[in-house]
Chains A and B, each alone.
Chain A
Amino acid sequence: MKVKPYYIAPAVVFLAIIGFFYVGLGLNPKETAFPLYGKPPPQFDLQPLHEDQPGLSTADLLRGDVVVLNFFASWCAPCLAEHPHLMTLGERDDIKLYGIDYRDDPREKPIAWLNRDGNPFDLIGVDPAARAGMEWGLAGVPETFVINRQGKVVLRIQGPLNVPTMNNQLLPLLEELTQ
């Protein structure tokens, strides 16, 4: 039998399909798009969690600091899991760590939680109706954003902070941004 070049076409097509599957199935379907990347943070203005403290609004993110913004809730178990990492970040003086209490129960619960496990945040706003979350394109809690000194959103981490995301994404970026 004479072998013609196009006889290998099915094999090539098959390998191409395998290639697409390999890449496509490796993606995390829970990770959603990040249209905010490189853009200024969206407009929001939130009431404070602690009534004797100031709230949180877009202006707080635009004061020339490197800002880490964390969405959390007291009902959210992964938020509890990432809390030690936030405590570590809260000790740093070269960044601001802000929190948004997302769709949470009455204030007593998140306040009690922060009293028990520590409050790493410089400012905390409450987002009971998820309006701020929507402006940020939030797909759940926890999510963490980084805003650079120029007031642009440069990182989004969906899901809890953990050792790999801290060491591979967040800490190297903060290192770069705070220089």
Chain B
Amino acid sequence: MTRLIAFLLMLTISPAFATGVDEEVLADPAQEAEARAIMEDIRCLVCQNQSIENSNADMAQDLRRVVRERVLAGDNGGEVHTYMVARYGDWILMRPPVNERTWYLWLMPVFLVLVGLFAARSMMRRHRGAAPTQVDALSADEQAALDAILEQEKP
């Protein structure tokens, strides 16, 4: 019983969602929410696989301040992304954009599925095409031998 309770309690654990803490946030909640959404897609330079939205590194704070400034100045998400990419390259975006350097990356899953389908099709075709094994009729001798065996087996 104790174990069951412990197990059930364990299921109630929720992951801690880290967020960067800033002293100054935008006064307008809608703008702040928009800025936060933009931050989620901008990579923190020093923590590599975190967005600046959930990092407390100094550099993430600097970038968050700039994102807020841009949002306050009326930039939309795309414009803020363009601003960041112009300075840091595509890498700054958590989701790599589709462009001449990344298209094959994005198309690779589609390509692999197509290869798989093609392989499966040719395999199935080969199996269907194979005629059932032809069995030659027994010769008279063989038939006689078989009859003899069957005769013996009879109770």
Q: A residues near B, CB below 8 A? A: 29, 32-35, 42, 103, 129-130, 133-137, 139-140
Contact = CB atoms under 8 A, between A and B. Distances in A.
B112 to A, nearest CB: 11
Interface of A is mostly: loop
Contact of B59 (A42, A135, A136, A140): A140
Interface string B57-71: 011001101100000
Interface residues of B, number: 17
B96 to A, nearest CB: 12
A32 B43 CA distance: 11
25 contacts: A32-B92, A33-B88, A33-B89, A33-B90, A33-B91, A35-B85, A35-B86, A35-B87, A35-B89, A103-B62, A129-B62, A129-B65, A130-B58, A130-B59, A130-B62, A133-B62, A134-B62, A137-B87, A137-B88, A139-B45, A139-B59, A139-B88, A140-B45, A140-B46, A140-B59
B48 interface: yes
A134 B89 contact: no
Given A33-B90, A34-B89, A140-B59, 5 more contacts: A32-B91, A35-B88, A103-B62, A137-B87, A139-B45
Contacts of B66: 134
B63 A134 contact: yes
A135 B66 CA distance: 11
